[in-house]
């Protein structure tokens, strides 16, 4: 392991990183455990054809850190972890998932996995053959299934909170909303937005997903390189991270950013501040996209109740308004405000746990 990994772990304050290798099943995975103060580290497994192993490591480290703050701000007794599998998702196999399941099992519950980009409830079913430390397993197996509908619902509720803050009411009717990425989460978000009467624009790089969404909903497709030409009310990043960066910021032409993607700000402090300078209201990603985590956390805790989960996801609305107030009062970015609240809860619980 290179110094760079240790440097990154120290900088981002990670507890543990596990590198998994199994040439037989072609499994190359990284499990990153950021912080387990609040409980076991729960976070999904992403499968992606990374350009380099370094990119995969950085992704795993950044994503797992986000999970710590997501669980903390959502009031969950869970730590932050995330795993990435390096490879083309078309190479998925039973052997790969089961071997990966054994690696997860070797951590004895310190890390609990779930779905993420390019992984499904069916994949979780294979993992479940080798470990009980997996959530988001299909409903016919007693699980809660794909968490994406809850993530999308949380984003929708959070977007309404943004609307309330900016326009003085929750309505998204006739608002121009761009959903970037109509995958698992994006497609459900589009459904909510269309039902709410928004003018929905979609963009994606996957032809099949574009076709499916355009056929199913009253939406307008826009090519990825044309999306910032639109006059938007809301930009909803629902693809990959770092879409708010030096290149896109000057082109962003909307009062609100509210979407599901993790790590939307390429550089948290710099780009978070530049959004404020441009008068753009930014809903911190790890807060607005916590619906899926709330759902799998309920599954992991047993006694799963869908209605209770829905109510818990709706708490995102008030949490976002509280973050906006704190950001204004303390003159800090919304991301910083959310991180301070999350970190305070972690510190408070650490203090409580340190006493008899």
Which C-beta is closer to ligand NAD: that of 43 or that of 332? 43
Positions in 78-107 near ligand NAD (CB under 6 A)? none
Among 122, 206, 220, 305, binds ligand NAD (CB under 6 A): 206
> Which residues lie below 8 Å from residue 10, measured CB to CB, with a gap of 6+?
none
* Interaction between residue 151 and ligand NAD (CB under 6 A): yes
Q: Both tokens of residue 44?
A: 């999904």
Residue 328 Cβ, how far from ligand NAD at the closest point, in Å? 26
The one segment of 52-60, 144-152, 273-281, 323-331 that binds ligand NAD by CB under 6 A: 144-152
Positions in 184-203 near ligand NAD (CB under 6 A)? 184-186, 203
Task: Indicate the SS3 state at residue 210.
Answer: helix
Site string for ligand NAD, 11-40 (x = CB under 6 A): ------------------------------
Q: Which of 26, 28, 70, 82 is catalytic?
A: 82
Q: Both tokens of residue 19?
A: 């590198």
Whether residue 82 lies in the annotated active site? yes
Site string for ligand NAD, 242-281 (x = CB under 6 A): ------------------xxx-------------------
* Interaction between residue 118 and ligand NAD (CB under 6 A): yes
Half-sphere exposure of 124 (CA within 13 A, CB side): 31
* Interaction between residue 143 and ligand NAD (CB under 6 A): no
Half-sphere exposure of 118 (CA within 13 A, CB side): 18
State the Cα–Cα distance between residues 7 and 250, nearest whole angstrom: 32
Indicate the pairing of strand 199-203 with strand 219-221. Answer: parallel
Q: Which residue matches tokens 């829905």?
A: 310
* Interaction between residue 148 and ligand NAD (CB under 6 A): yes
How far is the CA of 204 from the CAs of 6, 146, 247, 295, 337, in angstroms?
35, 21, 18, 26, 31
Task: Indicate the SS3 state at residue 191.
Answer: helix
* Interaction between residue 240 and ligand NAD (CB under 6 A): yes
Indicate the pairing of strand 27-35 with strand 16-22. Answer: antiparallel
* Footprint of ligand NAD (CB under 6 A): 115-118, 147-148, 151, 180-186, 203-206, 209, 224, 238-241, 260-262, 289, 292
Please give the positions annotated as active site.
82
């Amino acid at each position: 392991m290179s110094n760079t990994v240790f440097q990154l772990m120290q900088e981002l304050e990670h507890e543990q990183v596990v590198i998994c290798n199994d040439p037989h099943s072609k499994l190359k995975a990284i499990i990153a455990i950021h912080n387990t103060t609040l409980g076991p580290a729960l976070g999904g497994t992403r499968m992606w054809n990374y350009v380099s192993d370094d990119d995969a490591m950085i992704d795993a480290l950044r994503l797992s850190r986000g999970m710590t703050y997501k669980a903390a701000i959502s009031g969950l007794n869970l730590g932050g972890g995330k795993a990435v599998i390096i490879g083309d998702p078309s190479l998925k196999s039973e052997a790969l998932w089961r071997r990966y399941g054994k690696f997860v099992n070797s951590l004895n519950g310190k890390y609990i996995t779930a779905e993420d980009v390019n992984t499904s409830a069916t994949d979780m079913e294979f993992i479940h053959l080798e470990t009980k430390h997996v959530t988001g397993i299909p409903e016919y197996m007693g699980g809660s299934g794909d968490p994406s509908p809850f993530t999308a619902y949380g984003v929708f509720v959070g977007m309404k909170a943004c609307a309330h803050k900016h326009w003085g009411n929750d309505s998204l009717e006739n608002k121009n909303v761009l959903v970037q990425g109509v995958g698992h989460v994006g497609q459900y978000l589009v459904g909510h937005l269309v039902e709410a009467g928004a003018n929905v624009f979609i963009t994606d790089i996957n032809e099949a997903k574009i076709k499916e969404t355009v056929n199913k909903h009253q939406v307008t497709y826009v090519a990825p390189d044309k999306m910032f030409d639109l006059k938007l009310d809301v930009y909803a990043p629902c693809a990959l991270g770092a879409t708010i960066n030096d290149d896109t910021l000057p082109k962003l032409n909307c009062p609100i950013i509210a979407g599901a993607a993790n790590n939307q700000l390429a550089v948290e402090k710099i780009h978070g501040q530049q959004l404020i300078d441009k008068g753009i209201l930014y809903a911190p990603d790890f807060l607005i996209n916590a619906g899926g985590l709330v759902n799998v956390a309920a599954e992991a805790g047993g006694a799963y109740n869908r209605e209770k989960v829905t109510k818990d996801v709706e708490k995102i609305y008030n949490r976002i308004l509280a973050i906006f107030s704190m950001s204004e009062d303390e003159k800090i970015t919304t991301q910083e405000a959310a991180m301070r609240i999350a970190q305070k809860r972690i510190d408070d619980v650490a203090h409580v746990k340190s006493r008899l």
